[in-house]
Amino acid sequence: MDVRVPAGVSQDPFLGAQYLFETEYDLDWPVIVTVRDNPDERTWTAHYVEHHLLNISRQAASSAMARELVLHEYAHMYRYEQGHPSHLQSTAEALVLAFTGRQVEQRKLTHCYQIANHMKDIYADDITLDVYPATKLLAFLEASLATAVANRPIDRPGAVRHTPAADPDITAVNAAFALGLAERHDLIEPDHRLYELAAIAAADAPNVNLDSFKRRFRTLSRDTNTSEYRKALVDITRKYAMHTGGAGDAAAD
């Protein structure tokens, strides 16, 4: 692997993740790291002609989760080089197939892109969990879900909210993703706090069948092909957008 980290940035998380990744996998294309000053910049990967671009905020690159975040992105890069359907399938194309002739809320269309990213993450973390213990990942999933549940919209007399509320529907799907990933790899016992948090999220979103979404994430075929993956993506986004309430103010096509 060829990982290129800009000057003035600690190379430790990038090279540490590289060391772990190379115990089982390798990348043919070089990785060019770009560090952003915006602390809210999410970590993401783009793919260009024979190189990968890893975008990460300076804050994330120096956080306790830096190595794990970078390792996860390396796994996405590997899936892309591998030609895995989850990383080559156009989400926009799948949504056209799912919603042509239907009206879907813009909010739900946005959530569908997040669901598609969850499916990509499942396949990336199948690799990540091959080379690194799940302890920090579980803690991250638990903390993220706990924050979303705490930020759910609750009407209290005289209360004024000064921060955005988490959307209960997508929070429930995010909980299903966390449990689906954990169960897929036998990471948690039945009394793990993720189940308690997921139950709260499900109660806040009665139109979302958490168990159904959890099962869909958990049982994604490990040896999927293009047709099978496209169908899975179309089915899960259609189920979310068309069966969680709300008619449309934006056409998917």
Residues 176 and 232 in one domain: yes
Q: What does the pLDDT read at residue 165?
A: 58
For residue 57, give its domain range. Answer: 3-64
Residues 140 and 198 in one domain: yes
Residue 53: pLDDT above 90?
yes
Highest mean pLDDT among 35-39, 106-110, 160-164, 165-169: 106-110
Q: What does the pLDDT read at residue 159?
A: 42
Tokens of 15: 């090279």
At residue 140, what is the residue type? F
Q: Write the pLDDT tens digit of every residue in 147-192.
A: 998 877 655 444 443 334 578 999 999 999 999 999 999 999 999 9
Residues 168 and 120 in one domain: yes
At residue 114, what is the residue type? Q
Kind and range of the H or E element at 204? helix 193-204
**Domains: count for the chain:** 2
Q: What does the pLDDT read at residue 35?
A: 94
Q: Choose the weakest-confidence range: 76-80, 83-87, 155-159.
A: 155-159
Residues 94 and 184 in one domain: yes
Do the beta carbons of residue 221 and residue 69 sit within 8 Å? no
pLDDT band at 245 (very low <50, low <70, confident <90, very high): low
Q: What does the pLDDT read at residue 42?
A: 86
Whether 253 is covered by a domain: the verdict is no
Whether 41 is covered by a domain: the verdict is yes
